[in-house]
Structure 1
Amino acid sequence: MSSIRQRPDGKWRARYRDDEGKEHSRHFERKRDGQAWLDEVASSRLTGTYVAPAASKATLATFYAQWAPMQVWAAGTRRNADYAVDSCTFRDVPFGKLRRSHAEAWVKAMQSNLAASTIQTRVRYVGGVLKAAVLDRALATDPTKGLRLPAVRRIEHTMRIPTPAEVQAVREAAEPFLRPLLDVMAFAGLRIGEGAAVQTADVRWLQQELHVARQIQNRPGGVREVCPPKHGSERVVPVPAELTLRLSAHLTEVGEHVGGWFLPGSPPSPDALRRWFEKACRAAGVECITPHDYRHFYASGLIRAGLDAVSVSRAMGHASPSITLNIYAHLFPDAADRTRAAAADLLASTTASADQVRTSGA
């Protein structure tokens, strides 16, 4: 319900009631300006973009402070979201004054000192908050939607896959206590935090399986947090018999650490293990590889062996096969490769048949 009437002082008072029955009004010098405002309100209510004046005074910071505690997030996700919102240059701008240009200026400012992938991650977190504000009718539109972001280099141009010789050289140069970590990363595809968290009870010796049940993350202040793996990453990985033999030999030689850990630290520190990994690489003369590159080594081996994207995704602990394809699509044989191989088989079969005809004729 809306109306517009002229006051004794000559101004025009336009008013309407929202869905909750609360009245809102504004005064205008001209009637047509008041009517235009009422028309704009009516249009926004019909299209679902209406925001009550009181709600439009909220900011990204104030909305996030109320909304974030209600989210079902892992601790790491909450920390990343906190950091993204805290770094946002328009976090204190009222929603009613928030414009696309605010988001564009924020992205431009980040380009001076952040990688493109980091910028994309921060915009994704902030965009998620703004989308929630739109659904809560606190914000009319999300100014980050469709925002042009810096391009990230295609992963096939940045991926470093260690060679089998490099993996073996690093293992031989590593301290004995580090070798179980190297083995579960290279031959079971574990992330370094997952590898650090392996306990003896996780190895199913007879079934030749490894249960990836937890990860360890380093927190500020030297605190180590034992927590579940990334969302969707808890898994049971089939492993080769040789890997279980290596792990068994390690327990015989070094023994189990306090708490059932394979690696020292109780719990082990991924940051410390990463430094030991770098030391082993230097000793082996292997350059420019990281613990995460061992996951690429493992995935590339599975793909070369002919495993499909679903099987690789399960082994890697990806939330869906689409993630696997986004990362490793360039390693899977394409249609041209399969066509070429099939035609080669046909050619070989006809050659063999011709040889049989000549032999029988003789």
Structure 2
Amino acid sequence: MRGRALTQAEITALMAVCHNDSTTVGVRDAALIAILRGGGLRRSEVVKLNIRDFNSETGALQVIDAKGGKDRTVYLPQSAIPFVTSWLTVRGYQPGALLCPVRKGGEVQLRRMTPQALLLIIQKRAQEAGVESFSPHDFRRTFCSDLLDAGIDIVTVQKLAGHASPVTTAKYDRRGEETKRRAVQSLGF
């Protein structure tokens, strides 16, 4: 499997460069990274999100017409929600795309970002943060791997990721022999 999982230090560095950028772009990019990291979405799913798809109370994101034509609900961690709500305060609550392009002067354009624009944003922020090159899909890889590492069952991770089969989800499982050894210790005789 190509790509890599991001470390927590790398994610922190990415968020720090966004936080240190007090412009509209910095606020938007922090929300973008929070959604990629916290929701495990494909970049094609992120750019299709509408403002109505986000519930700021629960952190729910309605992913409509995802890969395979299926809809699903994912939940952002509580720690990610403020980044999205801060962006909405700047963006405004007019209907339309959740994440939007921003002009050089800071004007929010109420239209969709392209998947390519999302990639360029991530590459720019990685360079600024001194993080080794990675793709937006690596946030998804990190999401799945971290949940599996935390002991979340593979079917739940499969549903969150929108995988058609747990076989796909299993490719992100980096738990080794020690995890298997510990797992059988709960069995008694």
- TM (norm. structure 2) is 0.79
SS of match in other structure, 1:160: coil
Letter in 1 for 2:7: T
1:235 aligns with 2:72: yes
After superposition, what is the alpha-carbon deviation per residue over 1:201-227, rounded to whole angstroms, capped at 9, x for unaligned? 1012333311111xxxxxxxxxxxxxx
SS of match in other structure, 2:133: coil
How many residue pairs get aligned? The number is 172
Within 5 Å, give how 1:213-362 maps onto structure 2: 213=64, 228-231=65-68, 233-256=70-93, 259-264=96-101, 266-325=111-170, 327-329=171-173, 331-333=174-176, 337-340=179-182, 343=185
Structure 2: 5+ residue stretches without partners:
19-24, 102-108
In structure 1, distance between residues paired with 2:31 and 2:7: 19
CA contact (8 A) 1:257 1:263 kept: no
CA contact (8 A) 1:189 1:295 kept: yes
Q: Which has the larger radius of gyration?
A: 1
In structure 2, distance between residues paired with 1:188 and 1:246: 13
SS of match in other structure, 2:67: coil
Query: Structure 1 pair 257/164, CA: closer, same or farther in 2 (3 Å)?
Result: farther
Cα shift at 1:341: 5.8
1:178 aligns with 2:29: yes
Letter in 2 for 1:211: Q
CA contact (8 A) 1:233 1:319 kept: no
Structure with more relative contact order (C-alpha pairs < 8 Å, separation 6 or more): 2
Q: Which of residues 188, 192, 204 in structure 1 aligns to 2:55? A: 204
CA contact (8 A) 2:49 2:98 kept: yes
CA contact (8 A) 2:45 2:66 kept: yes
Cα shift at 1:242: 2.3
Cα shift at 1:340: 4.1
In structure 1, distance between residues paired with 2:184 and 2:52: 46
Superposed CA RMSD: 2.4
In structure 2, distance between residues paired with 1:272 and 1:258: 21
After superposition, what is the alpha-carbon deviation per residue over 1:9-46, rounded to whole angstroms, capped at 9, x for unaligned? xxxxxxxxxxxxxxxxxxxxxxxxxxxxxxxxxxxxxx
Cα shift at 1:180: 1.6
Letter in 1 for 2:44: G
SS of match in other structure, 2:79: helix
Aligned to 1:169: 13
**Structure holding more strand per residue:** 1
Structure 1: 5+ residue stretches without partners:
1-154, 214-227, 347-362
Cα shift at 1:272: 1.6
In structure 2, distance between residues paired with 1:162 and 1:229: 24
CA contact (8 A) 2:47 2:97 kept: no
